[in-house]
Amino acid sequence: MIGARLQAFAAELYPICRSITGAGVRDTLRRVGRHIPLKIHEVPSGTQVFDWEVPLEWNIEDAYVLDPQGRKVIDFQQHNLHLVSYSEPLDRKLTFAELKPHLHAHMVNPDWIPYRTSYYQRNWGFCLRGRDLEALGAGDYRVKVVSSLARGSLSYGEFYLPGRTREEVLLFTHICHPSLANDNTSGIAIATWLGAWLAQQPRRYSYRIVFAPGTIGSLSWLKRNESRLPAVRHGLVLGLLGDSAPLTYKRSRRGNAEIDKIAEYALASLEPAARAISFEPYGYDERQLCSPGFDLPVGRLTRSVNDGYPEYHSSADNLALISSAQLQDSLLACQRICEIIEADRRYINLSPKGEARLGKRGLYGGTGGSSPAAREHAMLWMLNQSDGSNSILDIARKSSRPVDVLAEAARELAGAELLREVADAEAGAREFRKIVAKKSPAISKAGKRRKR
Amino acid sequence: MIGARLQAFAAELYPICRSITGAGVRDTLRRVGRHIPLKIHEVPSGTQVFDWEVPLEWNIEDAYVLDPQGRKVIDFQQHNLHLVSYSEPLDRKLTFAELKPHLHAHMVNPDWIPYRTSYYQRNWGFCLRGRDLEALGAGDYRVKVVSSLARGSLSYGEFYLPGRTREEVLLFTHICHPSLANDNTSGIAIATWLGAWLAQQPRRYSYRIVFAPGTIGSLSWLKRNESRLPAVRHGLVLGLLGDSAPLTYKRSRRGNAEIDKIAEYALASLEPAARAISFEPYGYDERQLCSPGFDLPVGRLTRSVNDGYPEYHSSADNLALISSAQLQDSLLACQRICEIIEADRRYINLSPKGEARLGKRGLYGGTGGSSPAAREHAMLWMLNQSDGSNSILDIARKSSRPVDVLAEAARELAGAELLREVADAEAGAREFRKIVAKKSPAISKAGKRRKR
Amino acid sequence: MIGARLQAFAAELYPICRSITGAGVRDTLRRVGRHIPLKIHEVPSGTQVFDWEVPLEWNIEDAYVLDPQGRKVIDFQQHNLHLVSYSEPLDRKLTFAELKPHLHAHMVNPDWIPYRTSYYQRNWGFCLRGRDLEALGAGDYRVKVVSSLARGSLSYGEFYLPGRTREEVLLFTHICHPSLANDNTSGIAIATWLGAWLAQQPRRYSYRIVFAPGTIGSLSWLKRNESRLPAVRHGLVLGLLGDSAPLTYKRSRRGNAEIDKIAEYALASLEPAARAISFEPYGYDERQLCSPGFDLPVGRLTRSVNDGYPEYHSSADNLALISSAQLQDSLLACQRICEIIEADRRYINLSPKGEARLGKRGLYGGTGGSSPAAREHAMLWMLNQSDGSNSILDIARKSSRPVDVLAEAARELAGAELLREVADAEAGAREFRKIVAKKSPAISKAGKRRKR
């Protein structure tokens, strides 16, 4: 049911002609904004962002090519992909030889229109099916591109959900691709629904979902938020989440960040075929978020990797390539990751010398001799391992006991003042050392018997 | 032959009704004391030990249940396990409905009497075969428990063997279980024989063997010896050592303590099927010794793990479950571990620049060209690796050469003043750096030829 | 073709009666010196080198044994191996019983003459085929050894090639074995040709190739060069390189030195069957170079390990055991290792916040949408990983992209001032932190649009 709504929203977004700036991006953000309240940011053309500059804003009205007989042989109205994105305005007659270098066909499949762009080099071009290209003959062609390239701005949207701490979970999805379904109406739909779901959850962390054009959009966001980056505790790039490849987690550049352990654990618990792959610098906005000057703890949840499926960046990446079931499973994976992020706390044992006597606190079965239940086992694990160096997830991995059972045990033990949550491993280890160093109470006088 | 004596001692201990306090424990310690001199400690009821308190002392004379016809349908004299340990004194008439909640049958096997306790919650109860329970009908029953719960003390015994250093090897076995053969007459018998054997060995380390009731006994020992714990260099809990499961080493909480490497190496050399398993907090006294506030370098030598065999904590854990051959192999494993503990020294090379010339010291074959013998190979390994960072066991693991051969090579090299033993890795590395930094003697004058 | 020349040079060296001192060594160095200019060092007899002393110089003219019938039954002129190396001068009549202890046959094969030495214990002896030994009967034998043991010197040769830095690559081969082809005319031939090849390469590092007698030769070199050892960045011992065993890299004592990674990578890229084996102290001059007081980053390139082939140290290690193809492949492996040593630089990214815009520098394709080429991928990897902690080889291992492609990408990026080479990981990390800490330029005024 949620899958069907995700698929419907992807279908709604599919026909829009997005690019890295312009009306298509703003229309997309508006539609996302019907489901979750977005704050829209505009970054003016010409703004310097690190080694880059925000380009002129591009808007497109129409584009076509007329053959020598005056027939419209390429027509932007038929498919967004027919026009190279950021094509400059043009109205010109050309021989076929002059036109040819501006025509792009798919390398492999003659029935697919490829997707091409020229954001940073002023140019124009058309993409078409290989079989249509072959049908074109000599003669004079008329080429018309009714576009504008003008001072304006780049748009991105943010959905911010405050939590109990200011530490943030950063979620990022790219919104710059035109009619490509998996890449990335799937990611936009899932990020939207995930935002709506998060808004209804209790939150320890704050969450920020950014809908931005690829590369220049994430660079702009990084530039505007550079001072805030230390607050990013975990992050995920969301993209390519509707196709039939298994759920895939691409690790952060660090490779051993908490999010890496969390996401791998979550995926393994959901789908046996789920994969974790190593970081590589080619990809989506992890390219920027994980550049060495930032090196954020951000991984990517995906299905196919970029260029990992034949239909990638072609008209065959259409709504038939994605399915409601796959979208729904991807959303569930996001939710599961967020649940583990929330659950993965760290405690110290306040009674660490010997086992605490759970029985007198009603936390352990009264009659001895039979083996402890799962809940009691989980308590023993939490007590034994809580010296600051292990989080619940660490303990789950060591003990093969579920995060949720351990988290529940921890809550009970914290309620009985046997565990105390700590901020991080360093603080935890420090506090724990203090507790251990504390002298145990002197042995009570033999004569003094206490009631239990 | 030793196996037969172990089995006979286990058989001698089997009928005694042990609990965590009382006459059965003292009788057990007295019988151990016929083989090795034990120092008996008494910890008074009411003594506070960390989060626990030593309970009242429990002694039992008789217990039974009479059915409406006056027949003795449950009789403690028939089997110790019939009575829930620490049952309070009682003499009462009850309907079957009132009696029922106090009756315990085995979960799986209707022919086995389960083992149950209620040390810390005042209660009473009887355990019986499932088929006997089913035969009971409605009517008034008479229940009689002739026990006492009174101020007294908890008893444990210690056998201490001084060595050349005060650093200790701590061996622990639990003595609180009544008629259960594998759990733990096996461990008591082996700890006793191991003590007798250790008494006749030369000892670098001091050894302390503690025979104590589980949990409250080890906690009491920890409480009374807290200031001495830094001297515990290695430790082993001994239990469940007579059944047919393969020799099993359960690692210390640290997972990489010296004892972990030593025990794994020893077991692998003795029995191909031997296993090493990770620490988990459920178990015997490693629960207390490896609680995070102590975190002692203590593993456990066992065969089946707790609850790892069907007969666990039932009347089927009887003398037929253990065998003299298995007991003997377990004792050999303990001895082998102790031998490696003793052998695992650490040296530094006093002539570390180039190989020392073994030939001139008569340590190497005179004629060159053929490959070195095992003894010479062992010397090369000891010389090359002795920079303080490697112990003999480390070198054995790297070189796949036997500890004993390396230890013998080290003794010869130390005799030739080419190696010197060091206390630990840190001191070794420091001394070794000094030796390397020392300027080599100036090149002797060319004219001066020395005799060899 | 190079293989044939290597084989021819090995054949030229094969008949010479080398030992650890004397005319055979000098003759060998002279022949090497016809291909590469060697500097010859003489270390006088009696010189103290660490725990050793340079022995008297040994020269040999003739040696034989006459049987009771006056027939020459062992004749040094027939094979160098017939005489135990360093046999003292002798002219004596002996009974067979007196002679017997001085005769050595091969342990396994009765058709092979073994190789034996007695450098440091004054002695004499003969080696012969087992079947010839069996043919000897009782009676008086005449033994004659026309040798000299006298004050003189040990000789070794050095070929030094300065590079742009004084950091050195140290190459070592042993020249003390008489007529043994694989051990080590193969190593001498390859070290010679490698030297000639290196002389024609551009060199970042300086290279030093040492041709020296085993053990006492490398010890003498170490003694004379002790103050220079910190400049040894990488090293290789070359030996046993002509037989049919697969290319084999024996790791340095450190096990994780740069040379270990480099050599393993190089060999894996050349030959699927290539092996890397762990360090062990038995071997050739790595025994001295990797003694714990020096612990140099020196591995060994070999085929068979010592004693790893039946013909080892016997007359069956003759020219038929080695082949021109195997020699040639061994030389290629040396060259490949040197190429990677030269290529394995370390950079820092000068524009590490986000990806640098390669397009505006002409380093990236103008039209977007299709996947980057191998060259572009290599640039992304170099930019992403160049934070000082990763060298090109590290990046090659992470990315599975060839060292050469990454090195070329790095050169282009350095040319565009996007990367800067750093001396080592520590300096690199320090400089990189400074670059990251630098405030990004303020966002340019929106109105100011730059040309690209």
* Three-state secondary structure string covering B179-213: CCHHHHHHHHHHHHHHHHHHCCCCCCCEEEEEEEC
Closest listed residue to residue A286, CA positions, set A278, A296, A276: A296
Q: What span, in angstroms and rounded, lies between the C-alpha atoms of B214 and B177? A: 9
Nearest chain A Cα to C442, which residue? Answer: A48
Q: Which of B119, B151, B223 sits opposite A368 (nearest CB)?
A: B119
Band (B441; pLDDT cuts 50, 70, 90): low
pLDDT at C441: 55
How far is Cα B13 from Cα B180, in angstroms, rounded to an integer?
10
**pTM as predicted:** 0.91
Nearest Cβ partner for A120 among C359, C381, C436: C359
Whether A293 and C352 lie within 8 Å, measured CB to CB: yes
pLDDT of residue A306: 72
Residue B294: CA atoms inside 13 Å, Cβ hemisphere, count? 30
The beta-carbon neighbor of A353 closest among B50, B215, B307 is B50
Distance from CA of A81 to the nearest CA of C (A): 11
Residue of A nearest to C359 (CA): A120
Cβ-nearest to B280 among A360, A371, A399 = A399
Residues in chain C: 452
pLDDT of residue C452: 36
Chain C residues close to A48, C-beta within 8 Å = 441, 443-444
pLDDT category at C307 given cuts 50, 70, 90 is confident
Q: Distance between CA A346 and CA A410 in Å, rounded?
A: 9
- Compute the residue count for chain B: 452
Residue C451 is predicted with a pLDDT of: 39
Q: Which residues of C touch A309 (CB under 8 A)?
A: none
Distances, alpha carbon C298 to alpha carbons B351, C79, C236, C301, C415, in Å: 20, 34, 5, 10, 33
Confirm if B353 and C111 have CB atoms less than 8 A apart: no
| Of the partner residues C357, C383, C446, the one whose CB lies closest to the CB of residue A46 | C446
Give chain C positions within 8 Å (CB) of A278.
398
pLDDT exceeds 60 at position C446 = no
- Asked which of A356-370, B17-31, C410-424 is least confident by mean pLDDT, the reply is A356-370
Which of C50, C256, C317 is the best substitution to test chain B (most B C-beta atoms within 10 A)?
A: C50
Touching chains, B (3+ CB pairs < 8 A): A, C
User: How far apart are the C-alpha atoms of B311 and B112, rounded to whole Å?
Assistant: 8
What residue in C sits closest to A56 (Cα-Cα)? Answer: C449
Considering only B198-207, B353-362, C256-265, C368-377, which range has the smallest mean pLDDT? Answer: C368-377
Statement: residue A441 has pLDDT above 80: no
Give CA angle at B359 (B353, B362), nearest 5°: 125
| B409 half-sphere exposure, CB direction, 13 A CA radius | 28
Q: Could you tell me which of B121, B135, B165 has the C-alpha nearest to residue B342?
A: B165
Q: Do residue A353 and residue B291 have CB atoms under 8 angstroms apart?
A: yes
pLDDT of residue B440: 59
Contact (CB<8Å) A45/C449: yes
Q: Which residues of B touch A399 (CB under 8 A)?
A: 280
The pLDDT of C141-154, averaged and rounded, is: 98
Chain B positions contacting chain C at CB under 8 Å are 349, 351-357, 359-360, 366-372, 377, 380-381, 383-387, 398-399, 432, 435-436, 440-441, 443-444, 446-450, 452
Instruction: Please report residues of A whose CB lies closer than 8 A to that of C377.
Output: 282
Q: Residue type for A53, please?
A: E
pLDDT of residue A432 exceeding 70, the answer is yes
As a whole number of angstroms, the distance between CA C284 and CA C288 comes to 8
Q: Which of C351, C366, C436 sits opposite A51 (nearest CB)?
A: C351
Cβ-count burial A103-126 (b if 16+ within 10 Å, e if not):
bbbbeebeebbbbbbbbbeebbbb
- Which residue in C51, C103, C223 has the most chain B C-beta atoms within 10 A of its own C-beta, making it the best mutation to test that interface? C51
Measured between beta carbons, which residues in chain A are less than 8 angstroms from residue C387?
292, 295
| Interface contact flag, A368 B52, Cβ < 8 Å | no
Q: Do A371 and B307 touch (CB under 8 A)?
A: yes
Residue A216: pLDDT over 80 = yes
Between chains, do A45 and C398 touch, taking CB under 8 Å as contact? no
Q: pLDDT tens digits, residue range B42-62? A: 999 999 999 999 999 999 999
Subunit contact A370:B107, Cβ cutoff 8 A: yes
Q: Which of B20, B42, B43, B48 to mutate to test the interface with A (most CBs of A within 10 A)?
A: B48
The type of residue at C206 is S
Q: Chain B residues with CB inside 8 Å of C122's CB?
A: none
The number of helix segments (H) and strand segments (E) in chain A equals: 13, 19
Q: What is the pLDDT of residue B447?
A: 38
Average pLDDT over all residues of chain A: 95
Beta-sheet pairing, C126-127 with C103-104: parallel
> Average of pLDDT values for B189-217?
98
d(CA A55, CA A119): 8
C388: alpha, beta or left? (left if phi > 0; alpha if psi -120 to 50)? left
**Are the beta carbons of B46 and A449 separated by less than 8 Å?**
yes
Q: Does the beta-carbon distance from A450 to B48 stay under 8 Å? A: yes
Whole-angstrom distance, CA of residue A30 vs CA of residue A24? 10
- Cβ neighbours of B448 in C, within 8 Å: 46
Amino acid at B96: F
**Is the model's pLDDT at A419 over the cut of 90?**
yes
Question: Cα–chain-centroid distance for residue B406?
Answer: 27
- Is B49–A377 a contact, with Cβ atoms under 8 angstroms apart? no
Beta carbons of A116 and C354 less than 8 Å apart: no
Q: Which chains border A (3 or more CB–CB pairs < 8 Å)?
A: B, C
Q: Sign of dihedral through CA atoms A12, A14, A18, A19?
A: positive
* Rounded mean pLDDT, A282-288: 96
**pLDDT, position B445:** 42
| Cβ neighbours of B184 in A, within 8 Å | none
The DSSP element (H or E) to which A71 belongs, if any, is none
- Chain C interface, mutation test: which of B443, B448, B450, B452, most C Cβ atoms within 10 Å? B443
pLDDT confidence of residue A437: 92
Angle A271-A272-A273 from CA coordinates, rounded to 5°: 90
Q: Using the 8-state DSSP alphabet, how is residue B388 labeled? A: E
Chain B residues inside the 8 Å CB shell of C178: none
Q: Which two tokens stand for residue B5?
A: 């004596």
ipTM for the assembly: 0.93
C contacts of A306 (beta carbons < 8 Å): 371
Residue-wise pLDDT for C35-47, tens only, equals 999 999 999 999 9
Tell me the C-alpha distance between A227 and A222, whole Å: 9
* C370–A313 C-beta distance less than 8 A: yes
Q: What is the mean pLDDT of residues B132-158?
A: 97
Q: Give percent of chain A with pLDDT exceeding 90.
A: 92
Q: What is the pLDDT of residue A365?
A: 75
Mean pLDDT of chain B: 95
Residue C105, pLDDT above cutoff 50: yes
| Chain B residue with the nearest C-alpha to that of A436 | B293
The chain-wide mean pLDDT, for chain C, equals 95
For residue C359, what pLDDT is reported? 87
> What is the mean pLDDT of the segment spanning A179-204?
98
Q: Which two tokens stand for residue C396?
A: 């090659």
Please answer yes or no on whether B446 and C114 come within 8 Å at the CB atom: no
